[in-house]
Amino acid sequence: MVNPREAAAAVVDPEIRVITIDELGILRSVETDPATGRVVVTITPTYTGCPAMDVIRADVRRALAAAGHPDAEVRTVYSPAWSTDWISDSGRAKLSAAGIAPPAPVARPNVVPLTLAVRCPRCGSPETEQVSRFGSTACKALWRCRSCSEPFDHLKAL
């Protein structure tokens, strides 16, 4: 049997298929209920209305079943609320490689916000502009590079 944590962590996000749910930070825990021996996987949505949640639940159950845990339970929690700060370094690197500019750190209250330029994931130029703060999925904004003219997605800080 494959370790249930590894099986769940390998599930890819259905809307951004280059990154796993673990790297995205929406996989919160994988535990084994000591009384029943059942695996309990806890996930949290990026946005409240994220339409991918049902698919993610099904994919996690399928991955756990394939790993020898057919009765695994998937729970959804809303607190603490997901933040783009939970995306791992490997996740950020994969987003960038796939042409999606990763998010800047979320501004903290009482801290002078740093306005970091969003770098073009194609050519690396900081000469970019936002076209629309809403993009192809709830978590993305649409940007454009002024150097190479390519439009690109940017995972917006949340």
- Quick one: what does residue 94 bind among other proteins, Zn ion, none, with the CB cut-off 5 to 8 Å set by partner type? none
Distance, in Å, from the CA atom of 84 to the CA atom of 141, rounded to the nearest integer, reads 13
18 touches other proteins (CB under 8 A)? no
Nearer to other proteins, 2 or 142 (CB): 142
- By the rule CB under 8 A, 45 interacts with other proteins: yes
Q: Which does 107 bind (CB under 5 to 8 A by kind): Zn ion, other proteins, none?
A: none
Consecutive H or E run containing 153: strand 151-155
Closest to 21 in 3D by CA, of 1, 49, 41: 41
Minimum CB distance to Zn ion smaller for 50 or for 118? 118
Phi, psi of 105 (to 5 degrees): -60, 145
Provide, for the chain, the percentages of residues in helix, strand and coil under a 3-state DSSP scheme, each rounded to the nearest 5.
Answer: 25, 20, 55
Residue 146 Cβ vs other proteins, minimum distance, rounded to whole Å: 17
Q: Choose the one of other proteins, Zn ion, none that binds residue 145, judging by a C-beta under 5 to 8 angstroms depending on kind.
A: Zn ion
Q: What angle do CA 15, 17, 23 make, to 5 degrees?
A: 100
Is 85 a residue that touches other proteins (CB under 8 A)? no
Give residues 88-107 in contact with other proteins (rule: CB under 8 A): none
Contact characters 121-140, other proteins, x per CB under 8 A: ----------xxxxxx-x--
5 versus 122: smaller Cβ distance to Zn ion: 122
The closest of 108, 119, 112 to 155, measured between CA atoms, is 119
Minimum gap (Å) between residue 73 Cβ and other proteins: 18
Positive or negative torsion for Cα 123, 127, 131, 132: positive
